[in-house]
Amino acid sequence: MTDPSPPDRANEDAIDVALMQRAGKGDHGAFEELVTRHQHAVVGTVAKMLGGASEAEDIAQQVFVRLWKSAPRYQPRAKFTTFLFTITRNLVFNETRKRQRRKEHSLDEQEDDWHQQVSEPTEAQPDSRMLQTELRETVDRAISRLPEKQRMAVILRRYEQMPYEEIAAALDLTVSAVKSQLFRARAALREDLERFMDE
Going from the C-alpha of 165 to that of each of 56, 57, 112, 170, the distances in angstroms are 26, 27, 34, 9
- The model's pTM is 0.74
How confident is the model at residue 99, as a pLDDT? 77
Distance in angstroms (rounded) separating the CA atoms of residues 99 and 164: 29
- The DSSP letter of residue 119 is P
Residue stretches of the chain with pLDDT short of 70? 1-7, 53, 102-127, 196-199
List of E strands, 82-183: none
Class level of CATH domain 7-198: mainly alpha
Q: Residues 125-160: pLDDT tens digits?
A: 556 777 777 777 777 788 888 999 999 999 999 889
Distance in angstroms (rounded) separating the CA atoms of residues 10 and 33: 18
How confident is the model at residue 133, as a pLDDT? 78
Contact (Cβ atoms closer than 8 angstroms) between residue 48 and residue 60 = no
How confident is the model at residue 107, as a pLDDT? 45
